[in-house]
Amino acid sequence: MIAFLLTQPNTKTLTASRSFLDDEKILVAGLRASDFSSFSILYKMYAANMMGVIMKIVKQQETAEDLLQEVFLKIEKSIFTYDETKSRLFTWMLSIARNTALDHLRKKSSKQAKTNMLLEDAVQELKSHTHSFNPDTIGVRKLLDKLSLKQKLVLDLAYFQGYTHQEIAQQMGMPVGSVKTCLRSAILKLRTIFGKS
């Protein structure tokens, strides 16, 4: 009895699948005829599923929404290439959605790679650049000799080594306000000396 039940085809399932295939053929025919209502039906039936596939790949809501529109435009343009004998409409559409999302990721990573390459090239160029600022050639070192040791150190750390006021304060064990005052007085003294020479 059980074997008999298992071997009997389920007529309800067969009827439903035939009806679905017929509906799908009608939908495809409407899409190929550029029928707006067919596209509306298609969107209502499949947009949520397509969005889910795209979101799994790109993981950004706004980008996924843009890609979803792109997918439906591609479906509209390429509906004539759809072959019912090779796959169901939904499977064909999922393939378009997946490929569109993957293409987007490839383009994005390609742009990032190019940007990284440009930054790496710039860094290499800076490292290989042989010209540098030499304070001795413009007489700055001679001017600095006229400053106190503390002023020289603060100026050296700030302007020649690129330390921040906070870092100088930590390095020299001084309050930040004292570092700023020291820098200001050193610069004023240099201006006075430079004006005399």
Mean pLDDT over residues 77-104, rounded?
90
CA 155, CA 145: separation in Å to the nearest integer?
Answer: 12
* Percentage of residues of the chain with pLDDT beyond 90: 21
Query: Which has more confidence, 13 or 181?
Result: 181
CB 84 within 8 A of CB 28: yes
Q: Domains of the chain: which residue ranges? A: 18-114, 136-196
168-173-179 Cα angle (round to 5): 45
Confidence of residue 122 (pLDDT cuts 50, 70, 90): low
CB 65 within 8 A of CB 14: no
What tens digit of pLDDT does each residue of 42-85 get? Answer: 999 999 999 998 999 898 899 999 999 999 999 999 999 998 88
Whether the per-residue pLDDT at 161 is higher than 80: the answer is no
Query: Which has more confidence, 69 or 10?
Result: 69
Which CATH code fits 18-114?
1.10.1740.10
Q: Do 18-114 and 136-196 fold alike per CATH?
A: no
CATH 1.50.10.20 for domain 136-196, yes or no, is no
Give every CB contact of residue 134 below 8 A, 6+ residues apart in sequence: none
* Percentage of residues of the chain with pLDDT beyond 70: 70
Whether the per-residue pLDDT at 138 is higher than 70: the answer is no
Confidence of residue 98 (pLDDT cuts 50, 70, 90): very high
